Amino acid sequence: MEHERLLGLVARLRENGWVFVPTSLAAPGPARVVDALFGIRTRGPVEDNIQLWEKWAIASRLCRRDGVEEQVWYRSGAVSSVVSELLALAE
């Protein structure tokens, strides 16, 4: 049920070609595990990825140039803010 709620939060990313996989993450606290999603979208040398759980997200953009992968963008924070920034990134 939590995975479905999380998928609703990233509906706009899914419309733009993102693929999401349900998973779980260890969370702070005594042996606590939470439902989460991992999402990815690749286009040529560019890879965008996001992990989200509860109300939080971590996302980054990686770019491969001359055989070297470099992180060119990174954000963490509330899911809605991170998703909005991903949508606003230039292609």
Distance CA 73, CA 22 (A): 24
> In this predicted structure, what is the pLDDT of residue 90?
66
Backbone angles phi, psi at 31, to 5 degrees: 50, 45
Question: What does the angle CA 66 – CA 14 – CA 71 come to, to the nearest 5 degrees?
Answer: 25
Domain that holds residue 70: 2-88
> Which amino acid is located at 49 in the chain?
N
> In this predicted structure, what is the pLDDT of residue 13?
96
The enclosing domain of 35 has a CATH number of 3.10.450
Expressed in angstroms, the distance from the first to the final Cα of the chain is 32
> In this predicted structure, what is the pLDDT of residue 82?
97
Are the CB atoms for 87 and 57 separated by under 8 Å? no
pLDDT by residue, tens only, the chain of 91 residues: 899 999 999 999 999 999 999 999 987 776 688 999 999 999 999 999 999 999 999 999 999 999 899 999 999 999 999 999 999 996 6
Please give the tally of structural domains in the chain.
1
